[in-house]
Amino acid sequence: MRIAIRMDDITPDMDWDKFNKFKTILDRYGVKPLIGVVPDNQDPKLSLNEAHEDFWDYIKELQNDGWTIAMHGLSHLYTTKEGGIFPLNHKSEFAGYSYDKQCEMISKGKELLASHGIYTDIFMAPSHSYDVNTIEALKKNGFTKITDGFGYEPYERYGMTFYPISANRGSVLKSSRDGAVTFVVHTNTMKDKEFDYYEQVCQNQSMISYRDLFRETPVRRGIFGALRERLMASAKYTLVRLRSK
Ligand SMILES: [Zn+2]
């Protein structure tokens, strides 16, 4: 199994020391990740440092260096308690709102990124929460790809291409099947031992950069595959809650 990396919560005021520490590991192994940039961050939990003035130029530099940019929501504020169609969490910036409202939010995010010279057709939903209206609003705004869902290869559903995330890292690392799956990384909250873990992953596994993952032909996913994914996400939500009790 090939492993791709996505980094969430990229903002001008993120924890830069941890970001840089993780980037050093990726650079060492030549891995180019997908990064989720929040167009207009309003979430205080993501604000951990003084904002870097040259943030947007730096993001463009990363893009020139082969990194891939996704739009990570608009403001990263959870204003609904919906899990949407991939209910790993029951909170969302988008799921639960009307198509018109979501269209407006997505278009605003896209405009903000464009005002900084950043263009992308990849969406990363805060908390993995999106619904059918989110997908329609994304399509209306020219988005074609979503980083989420469960599976072992890119798949097509609702007229979008999905790049699945790992449901269970342990079993992915042991798997001998062919395919490609994304490991989700939040550097802001990473502990030392997690940096060591990723060093090991990059060293011992077959890694794939996002720009190469986009060259793969997606498989078609039908209604049963979609239902299965939804059940798995619900089960994972319940398990995580039980474990934290
Ligand atoms: Zn996030």
What distance in angstroms lies between residue 75's CA and the mean position of ligand 1's atoms? Answer: 10
What distance in angstroms lies between residue 7's CA and the mean position of ligand 1's atoms? Answer: 9
Give the angle subtended at the CA of 31 by the CAs of 30 and 33, to the nearest 5°: 145
What distance in angstroms lies between residue 176's CA and the mean position of ligand 1's atoms? Answer: 31
- Residue type (1 letter), 211: R
Per-residue pLDDT, 139: 98
What distance in angstroms lies between residue 11's CA and the mean position of ligand 1's atoms? Answer: 10
Per-residue pLDDT, 218: 93
Of 159, 164, 169, 168, the C-alpha closest to 134 is 159
What distance in angstroms lies between residue 222's CA and the mean position of ligand 1's atoms? Answer: 28
Please state, in angstroms and rounded to a whole number, the distance separating the CA atoms of residues 189 and 76. 16
What distance in angstroms lies between residue 76's CA and the mean position of ligand 1's atoms? Answer: 6
Instruction: Please give the sequence-ordered ranges of beta strands (E in DSSP) within 45-164, or none if there are none.
Output: 68-72, 122-124, 145-146, 155-157, 160-162
Per-residue pLDDT, 105: 97
Per-residue pLDDT, 225: 85
Whose structure tokens read 């650079």? Answer: 27
What distance in angstroms lies between residue 45's CA and the mean position of ligand 1's atoms? Answer: 10
- Residue type (1 letter), 237: Y
β-bridge partners, 161 = 145, 156
What distance in angstroms lies between residue 180's CA and the mean position of ligand 1's atoms? Answer: 22
Per-residue pLDDT, 212: 96
What distance in angstroms lies between residue 37's CA and the mean position of ligand 1's atoms? Answer: 9
Of 39, 35, 46, the C-alpha closest to 13 is 46
- Domains defined along the chain, listed by start: 2-243 (3.20.20.370)
Q: What are phi and psi of 200, to 5 degrees?
A: -65, -45
Question: Model-level pTM?
Answer: 0.94
What distance in angstroms lies between residue 93's CA and the mean position of ligand 1's atoms? Answer: 10
Per-residue pLDDT of the chain (245 residues; tens, 9 = 90+): 999 999 999 999 999 999 999 999 999 999 999 999 999 999 999 999 999 999 999 999 999 999 999 999 999 998 898 888 888 888 888 888 999 999 999 999 999 999 999 999 999 999 998 999 999 999 999 999 999 999 999 999 999 999 999 988 988 898 888 899 999 999 999 999 999 999 999 999 999 999 999 999 999 988 888 888 888 888 888 888 888 77
Find the Cα–Cα–Cα–Cα dihedral 82, 99, 158, 175, rounded to 10°: -30
